[in-house]
Amino acid sequence: MSQTLAEDEYNVKHVFNTLWIERIAKLVDNVNAHKADGALFVTREVGRVFHTFQYRTKFNLRDDVKNNAKARDLLKKGDEMFAPNVARYIEAAKHYNECIAFSKPGSEERAEAYLNRSAVSFKLKRYEDCLVNFRLAHGTNQAARIVNLMKDRERMALDSLAYIISVPPNARRLQKHMNEFPLSSRTRVKTALELRKNDQFGRHVVTNCDLSAGQVVIVEKPFASVLKSYLRCVRCAFCYEERLFTLIPCEGCTVEMYCSQECMGKAYEAYHRYECAILRDMHRISVEYAWVALRTVATAIASFDHNLEAMKEHIERLDESSVNAFGMNWQTATAKDKYNTIHVLSSYQAHRKIYVAFAAFHANVIYHLLIDRTELRPICIVKPELRKLLFDLVLRNLKVAANNATKQNFFSYKVSEQSYRSEPYAHACFSMSSMLNHSCAPNVLKLALRGGRCAVVVLRPIRQGEQLFVSYGDCHKTAPRPARQRSMILFDNFMCKCVACKHNYKTLKQSIDATTNFENSIENRYISHVNNVIDSHDKFLVVSLISELKAYINTFDDDYPTVPLCLAHTAFARAIAVLHSFTSENADYWAFCKP
Ligand SMILES: C[S@@+](CC[C@H](N)C(=O)[O-])C[C@H]1O[C@@H](n2cnc3c(N)ncnc32)[C@H](O)[C@@H]1O
């Protein structure tokens, strides 16, 4: 799509870099940012510089207002994609959605976009969606103008709908199984997992009973999560359901779209009232983990019934060392208790002054957007202590998000590759799974589920008293030790001493190269078959494959890291993701579209 939210020339990093070279670096020349007072000094100096910095002009900040002229352009773009010789209906629907988000309520542009989206739905044989769009078009003031056209197409959609074959019952059963992730109760987590602390790992998670591959030890909802920008016109911004053909817009901004009035209302209550006026600028100039930080702050304020004074008092009295997401009763936990578990997450420990300064600069941008444009302004203007609270919250949660926010993936069908690809759909911050430390030979997998939740699934048997480890990115199968350790130091600021680093486990390629005639082995033939099944995304076949792989991994774990076991782990992780993560419906659309 040509309409993007990121406009690089106003990117917060670029603007900061210039300011750092021209002004900030000199001011903090002799400061040691490793020390707390040094970091505080850098933060204060950045605040002072920001005070005289024309941030509104430098970032070209502007109010987010509905714009029918822009909506008209987007409508035209949609029509170009819809033309019979082009027939790129998915692109067309996205442009119509963008048009709907920009259009004023009741405008001609909005009515036409709904109507055209009904035509796209009709082409893709999505007759129910087609009718939904008629209802939405009816709701605009333009209904009288388009009523005849609507009547004809509505009748055709209703006729076609009558012929739709229902989903076979066994498919429905599997769908149910996939949505209700098994073994996922919080009771299980409470009894099996404990949070401990030591010098080497800081806080870490151990199991108090033996666990075997395939067990699900955590299922949790994120405290804050943000949909990827490129999916704004495809999925509901609140529940994340794919609703390409029926999204409705937030009337306050041009960014968020929802599947229903209900989701719109819930989002507004939970956080959006503090984001609505600033989200488009945030998307334009800032980065994704900062959107998570903003949403965390907004959700936290809402959790305190929008009472900043009460929030301040609560945070001042909070004994951070006593907060434990694993000891908490999540059934009875209040919204404030839930925020506590995010407030105490580890924050990004910048090892260079420039990073400390950048975090402070970024926090200033978000803080000023909130003060300038939201309902926080009146109370913060008169109370300096609440301004400080707000700034500290933004800065803290920026660092927490930088260290803990993770990508949530789903499978999208790529017509050019004729296969599914795993791609991120959201960025999210979780309480419990953020306590998992890294290993290059992980024994658990963090898996994104539908609707934004995540599950932690056991990959290898774990004995009572052992620590659970996830991989933060690099794993011994794909990267050699020096490369892994370099990236851990660079991005996560610690030296990895996991079992794979200690024993210098080979990469999978190195192990295969060292195996005689692996190419013609039974193991290789079996794993090729396994990979073909997984690639097919046939969930019925994948279910039985998972049982086979699980049994193999649980029986032969002592042999790790042999080639067959490493291959089995990789396949197992992929198979679980295929079964339980969300797979886009987009594969179905291509039968009707030109690629
Ligand atoms: C997401 S947190 C994990 C929980 C963390 N240990 C805590 O106390 O909050 C990530 C941080 O944990 C620490 N960490 C993670 N894996 C580690 C490992 N294998 N060895 C040492 N420290 C680790 C690093 O400080 C890293 O920045």
- Ligand 1 test: best mutation among 343, 438, 476, most atoms within 8 Å of CB? 438
Q: Is 239 exposed, middle or buried (0-12, 13-18, 19+ CB in 10 A)?
A: middle
Residue 15's CB is within 10 A of a number of other CB atoms, namely 18
Q: Is 201 in the pocket of ligand 1 (CB under 6 A)?
A: yes
Ligand 1 contact, 295 CB (< 6 A):
no
487 three-class SS: helix
Q: Is the CB of 431 under 6 A from ligand 1?
A: no
Rounded to the nearest whole angstrom, what is the distance from the C-alpha of residue 144 to the centroid of ligand 1? 62
- Clarify whether residues 208 and 134 are in a common domain: no
**pLDDT per residue as tens digits for the range 114-173:** 999 999 999 998 988 998 998 898 876 665 666 666 666 666 666 665 544 333 444 444
Could you tell me if the CB of 243 is within 6 A of ligand 1? no
Number of domains the chain contains? 3
How many angstroms does the Cα of residue 447 sit away from the middle of ligand 1? 19
Would 143 be classed as within a structural domain?
Answer: yes
Instruction: Find out whether the beta carbon of 412 lies less than 6 Å from any atom of ligand 1.
Output: no
Half-sphere exposure of residue 165: CA atoms within 13 angstroms, side-chain side: 3
Q: Are residues 336 and 291 in the same domain?
A: yes
- List phi, psi (to 5°) of 421: -130, 140
Cβ pair 485, 244 in contact under 8 A: no
Whether 484 is in the pocket of ligand 1, judged by its Cβ within 6 Å, is: no
DSSP state of 468: P
- Exposed / middle / buried, residue 305 (Cβ in 10 Å: 0-12, 13-18, 19+): exposed
Digit-coded pLDDT (tens) for 404-451: 999 999 999 988 888 999 999 999 999 999 999 999 999 999 999 988
Domain presence at residue 326: yes
ipTM: 0.99
Residue nearest to atom 5 of ligand 1 (CA): 203
Regarding the beta carbon of 496 and ligand 1, being less than 6 Å apart is answered: yes
Q: Assign residue 134 the CATH number of its domain.
A: 1.25.40
> Ligand 1 pocket, 433 CB below 6 A?
no
- Give the integer Cα–Cα distance in Å for 173 and 553: 27
Q: Which residue from 188, 94, 184 is spatially nearest to 450, judged by alpha carbons? A: 184
45: which DSSP letter?
Answer: H
Q: Give residues with Cβ within 8 angstroms of 134, minimum separation 6.
A: 114, 115, 118, 150, 153, 154, 157
Here the CATH number for the domain that contains residue 545 is 2.170.270.10
Ligand 1 atom closest to residue 346's alpha carbon, by position in its atom list: 9
Whether residue 3 is predicted with pLDDT greater than 60 in this model: the reply is: no
Using an 8 Å Cβ cutoff, are 543 and 214 in contact? no
Say if ligand 1 is within 6 A of residue 494 CB. Answer: yes
> CA-based diameter of the chain, in Å?
77
Instruction: Quote the ligand 1 centre to 492 CA distance (angstroms).
Output: 8
Fill in the amino acid letter for 220. E
Q: Say if residue 450 is in the same domain as residue 579.
A: yes
Rounded Cα–Cα distance for residues 247 and 291 (Å): 22
Asked whether 347 lines ligand 1 (CB < 6 A), one says no
Ligand 1 centre distance from Cα of residue 137 (Å): 52
Q: What is the mean pLDDT of the chain?
A: 89
pLDDT of residue 171: 43
Q: Is the CB of 565 under 6 A from ligand 1?
A: no
Q: What tokens were used for 351? A: 């090892």
Q: Whose CA is nearest to atom 12 of ligand 1?
A: 437
How many angstroms separate the alpha carbon of residue 505 from the centre of ligand 1? Answer: 21
pLDDT (average), residues 312-319 = 96
**Integer Cα distance of 37 and 235 in angstroms:** 45
- Does the beta carbon of 488 lie inside 6 Å of ligand 1? no
Contact 411, 400 (CB under 8 A): no
Which atom in ligand 1 lies closest to the alpha carbon of residue 200?
Answer: 21
Q: Is 434 close to ligand 1, i.e. is its CB under 6 Å away?
A: yes
Say which residue the tokens 């490493």 belong to: 566
195 CB within 6 A, ligand 1? no
Asked if pLDDT for residue 296 goes beyond 50, the answer is yes
Same-domain check for residues 269 and 208:
no
Confidence of residue 180 (pLDDT cuts 50, 70, 90): very low
Q: Do residue 267 and residue 380 come from a single domain? A: yes
- For residue 548, is pLDDT > 60? yes
pLDDT over 60 (residue 188): no
Per-residue pLDDT at 36: 77
Cα separation, 317 vs 112, whole angstroms = 55
User: Does residue 206 sit in the same domain as residue 294?
Assistant: no
Atom 15 (ligand 1): residue with closest C-alpha? 437
DSSP 167: P
pLDDT score for 490 = 83
pLDDT given at position 152: 66
Q: Are residues 556 and 438 in the same domain?
A: yes
Cα angle vertex 200, ends 198, 203, to 5°? 45
377 & 456 share domain: no
Same domain? 501 vs 379: no
- For the beta carbon of residue 95, count every other beta carbon within 10 angstroms: 29
Whether the CB of 342 sits within 6 Å of ligand 1: no
β partners of residue 428? 225, 406
Tell me: do 581 and 435 sit in the same domain. yes
Does 323 map to a domain?
yes
| Same-domain pairing of 371 and 518 | no
The pTM (predicted TM-score) of the whole model is 0.91
Q: What is the pLDDT of residue 191?
A: 64
Q: Does the CB atom of residue 435 touch ligand 1 within 6 A?
A: yes
Characterise 214 by phi-psi region: left (phi > 0), alpha (psi -120 to 50), beta (else).
Answer: left
Q: Whose CA is nearest to atom 19 of ligand 1?
A: 438
Confidence of residue 49 (pLDDT cuts 50, 70, 90): very high
pLDDT at 186: 42
Q: What is the mean pLDDT of residues 310-329?
A: 95
Taking the centre of ligand 1 as the mean of its atom positions, its distance from the CA of residue 435, in whole angstroms, is 8
Residue 561 C-alpha to ligand 1 middle, in angstroms?
24
Q: Is the CB of 399 under 6 A from ligand 1?
A: no
* 552-557: average pLDDT: 95
- Domain around 92: 68-166
Does 415 fall in a domain? Answer: no
Q: What is the pLDDT of residues 202-220, one digit of tens each?
A: 999 999 999 999 999 999 9
The amino acid that residue 368 corresponds to is H
CA distance 361 to 274: 20
Q: From the CB of 346, is ligand 1 less than 6 Å away?
A: yes
The predicted pLDDT at position 23 comes to 93
- Does residue 28 fall inside a structural domain? no
- Do the domain assignments include residue 412? no
Q: Is the C-alpha dihedral spanning 117, 118, 119, 121 positive or negative?
A: positive
Residues in Cβ contact with 43 at an 8 Å cutoff, skipping those fewer than 6 apart: 356, 357, 359, 360, 395
In angstroms, rounded to a whole number, what is the distance separating the alpha carbons of residues 161 and 142? 26
- For position 146, what pLDDT does the model report? 63
Give the list of residues 6+ apart from residue 468 with CB closer than 8 angstroms, or none. Answer: 193, 204, 205, 206, 207, 217, 436, 443, 444, 456, 462
Q: Are 207 and 193 in contact (CB under 8 A)?
A: yes
Separation of alpha carbons 509 and 219, rounded Å:
33
Q: Give me the phi and psi of 542, to 5 degrees please.
A: -65, -35
Q: Are residue 301 and residue 369 in the same domain, yes or no?
A: yes
Give the per-residue pLDDT at 534: 95
Asked if residue 498 has its Cβ within 6 Å of ligand 1, the reply is: yes
Proportion of the chain above pLDDT 90, given as a percent: 75
Amino acid at 104: K
Is pLDDT at 174 greater than 50 in this prediction? no
Average pLDDT over residues 268-281: 97
Question: How many angstroms is it from 471 CA to the middle of ligand 1?
Answer: 11
The secondary element (H helix, E strand) that includes residue 181 is none
How confident is the model at residue 160, as a pLDDT? 61
Q: pLDDT, tens digit, for every residue of 354-408?
A: 999 999 999 999 999 999 999 999 999 999 999 999 999 999 999 999 999 999 9
**Residue 190 pLDDT > 70:** no
Name the packing angle between helices 539-556 and 522-536 (round to 10°).
140
47 domain residue, yes or no: no
Does ligand 1 lie within 6 Å of residue 203's CB atom? yes
> Tens of pLDDT along 231-266?
999 999 999 999 999 999 999 999 999 999 999 999
